[in-house]
Each structure stands twice: as C-alpha cells, then as structure tokens.
Amino acid sequence: MSTHVGPVDVDALRARLDRAAAAAAIAGVDALLIAPGSDLRYLIGAGGTSFERLTCLVVPVGGVPVLVVPKLEHPGYADIPTDELGVDVATWVDGEDPYALVKRALKGNRTAVSDMMPALHALRLRDAVSADQVLAGPVLRELRMRKDDTEVAALRKAGAAIDRVHARMAEWLRPGRTEAEVGADIAAAIVAEGHVAAEFVIVASGPNGASPHHDLSDRVIEAGDVVVVDIGGPVAEGYNSDSTRNYVLGEPRDADVWQTYAVLRAAQQAAVDAVRPGVTCEAVDAAARDIISDAGFGEYFVHRTGHGIGLDVHEDPYIVGGNDLPLEPGMAFSVEPGIYLPGRWGARIEDIVIATADGVESVNNRPHELVVLPT
Ligand code: ZN
Ligand code: ZN
Ligand code: ZN
C-alpha cells in the first residue's frame, strides 16, 4: 500500500519525477527549478503559492531531488511523503541564503526554471546559481499534456460538476437581474455542485456577449437578450472545468440569431468530430473556422478554437492555426468557437474534450442548442 497525495498515487508521482528528469536531460539542462504552482503540484502533489521567501523543488538530472523550503512554511508541505518520493528536504531560516541551498543541490549549471516562478526568485537564481537559464514549461509540457487515467477521471468529474450548474441556469437567469447578481448565484452553485472554488464566471448579456472575455457587470438583463455563460473551476484533485452555454430570454431580439447560432453549432460539432489521434491542433481549429468563414462570419470569430486544460485552466496544447502538433490519446482541451457581432450579441459553445485511442470523449454533455428561458 502506498500513500496518496490528493488523488495521486505516490508511485505515479515518483514516476513523474523520473520522467521530468529524463525530459530535462533530453532538453539539455542539468536541473529543473520548480516554484509552487501547478508544476509543483503535478510533480509532488504540493499546493501552495510563492512568497518572498524562496520555495523551490530542484530536480537534477541523475541526482536526488531537493525541496528547498523556508522552515516556517514547511508545515504546509508536511503531507507530502518526501521520503517515499525520494525527495530530500532542505529547510532554511531568515538570515540564511536559500539560493545557496539550490546551488548545492545542482551538479551542472544549466537550469530550467518554472514559467510561473516570480521574477524575484528567477533573477536571484540567475545571479546566484546560473545565468544559463531556460523555461521549464516546454520541458514539463511534454508530460503534462498527456493526461493519465487519474487525470482523465478528475477532468470527467469536473465536467460533470459544471454540467450540473448549467442544468440549473433557469433558477438564476431571468430579466430584471444584473449580470453580477446572476453571477454570484452561479459562483455559489459551482462550489455546491462539487468544485472547491469558482475560478471564473462570465455572464455576458446582450451586447456584452460580443466581447469574448467580458466577465460580469451591473447591466440589467432584458427579455430578448442572448446570454453567454462561461464558467468553471477546480475540483479537489486540482483539475479544472470550463464550459460555455448560451441562453436566450424569450424570443431573441435580433432576427439573425437562430440562423447564425446554427452556423456556430455546426462549427463546434465539426471541430469536436475532427478530434482523433494524429490530427493536428491546427486542423481542429480549421474544422470550426472554415464553417464560420464560409458562412461569412470569419471576421467575427476573433480567437483560437481552444486551449489545453488540466491543473491550469489554460495550458498546452493550444488549438490554434500554426500549431502542427499531432493529437495523442490523453490530450485534453477546449473546443470553443464563437461568433461576436459588435454592439449586438455574441455566442460561444465550449466543451472540454479528450483525445482517446480512436477518437474523442467529451466531458461536457449538456445540449448545445440555444436554450430558451422564460421571461
Ligand atoms: Zn479564455
Ligand atoms: Zn470557457
Ligand atoms: Zn476555455
């Protein structure tokens, strides 16, 4: 029997550490320097964030990983089975030099620092440890992009939880309420339905729907509005949901809504249907974009078709023109084309899908249609 760190088996974490070191060797660096964040969570199961005192996991090629951590923050890492993982712990107290501890754990001086390490630490590591720095993201991406069964299970759980929130939309979304009021109710439901937090809540009504990253405002929702609802957050395992559905309050005000929405629906379905191993990310993007462009709305689809998802809401692989990465089983990402008509209305349909051995699995299963809610 082995200990679990959250949902992840210690054996699985130890394998990740080994594969990370192997990937570092292939990338031509001597060690990975990993700050708190999703990379650290991926490798040793530790949550937490970076502070002004350095916390850093050193993963050397062909050596023992060392977790450098301030003594006063070490209790936060007490649940991490460092012994079983084969990770040494080096604590430090105020007045000591933590960067020297990092240097001591290294065999060579070519390092890869995690993408989200604060510059405060990255630049000091550059000065004190090694000027030969690259980003660790491209190294760890090779591991994190391909989800194992445990990760896929967590993404399914997150997908089902956010589907339950969308299923309840009629409880909150009606004319006379502001986007902010509706958003507060949705945020509470995101947690009630099984997430640990509401990471983002977009309620974009009427003309606000034409702005893809609108979040919430004090606009009062009116009868006839099309409303874009894009919501998500992490479940206990750390993996995120992200799903967009579209609602209309009574009959849509704009006469072109039904016809344009049908184009969007066909585009989203075509992109989902295109997903299978060997197909490139850019081909999935093109499957949606071609349908939208052919219908004359190309200039109103102003973003990529999707993004990878896992411990981060946005991560590799990106479903975008120019990305010729072929899909592999276990890659998880959003398929979320949109059509945005400035000053009038917009819509986006978003599912999280996972490439399987012979096709695609969607973790979101609510209907794609424009849902009519009572006024
Ligand atoms: Zn986004
Ligand atoms: Zn989204
Ligand atoms: Zn998304």
Nearest ligand to the CA of 334 is 3
Q: CA-CA distance, 270 to 272, in Å (whole number)?
A: 6
Q: How far is the CA of 213 from the centre of ligand 1 (A)?
A: 6
Domain 149-373, second-level architecture:
Alpha-Beta Complex (3.90)
**pLDDT score, position 1:** 32
Each residue's pLDDT tens digit, 109-166:
999 999 999 999 999 999 999 889 999 999 999 999 999 999 999 999 999 999 999 9
Each residue's pLDDT tens digit, 345-361:
999 999 999 999 999 99
**pLDDT score, position 6:** 60
Q: How far is the CA of 336 from the centre of ligand 3 (A)?
A: 7
H or E stretch including 333? strand 332-335
Q: CA-CA distance, 40 to 311, in Å (whole number)?
A: 10
In contact, 257 and 345? CB cutoff 8 Å: yes
Decide if pLDDT at 325 tops 70: yes
Beta bridge partners of 92: 70
Question: Residue 228, Cα to own-chain centre: how many angstroms?
Answer: 20
In contact, 364 and 352? CB cutoff 8 Å: yes
From the list 215, 231, 171, 162, the residue with the least C-alpha distance to 192 is 162
Domain boundaries defined on the chain: 10-143, 149-373
pTM metric for this prediction: 0.94
Decide if pLDDT at 5 tops 50: yes
Look at residue 359 and give its three-state secondary structure: coil
- In sequence order, which residues have a C-beta less than 8 Å from that of residue 15 and are 6 or more positions away? none
From the list 314, 321, 315, 317, the residue with the least C-alpha distance to 331 is 317
Q: How far is the CA of 242 from the centre of ligand 2 (A)?
A: 5
Determine the residue type at 135.
L
Nearest ligand to the CA of 229 is 2
From the list 184, 159, 158, the residue with the least C-alpha distance to 171 is 184
Q: CA-CA distance, 355 to 308, in Å (whole number)?
A: 11
In contact, 290 and 301? CB cutoff 8 Å: no
In contact, 135 and 113? CB cutoff 8 Å: yes
**pLDDT score, position 199:** 97
Q: How far is the CA of 313 from the centre of ligand 1 (A)?
A: 8
Query: What superfamily in CATH does domain 10-143 come from?
Result: Creatinase/prolidase N-terminal domain (3.40.350.10)
Q: How far is the CA of 21 from the centre of ligand 3 (A)?
A: 31
Residue whose tokens read 């301030």: 70
From the list 200, 256, 252, 257, the residue with the least C-alpha distance to 229 is 200
Length of the chain counted residue by residue: 375
Q: How far is the CA of 336 from the centre of ligand 1 (A)?
A: 9
Nearest ligand to the CA of 243 is 2
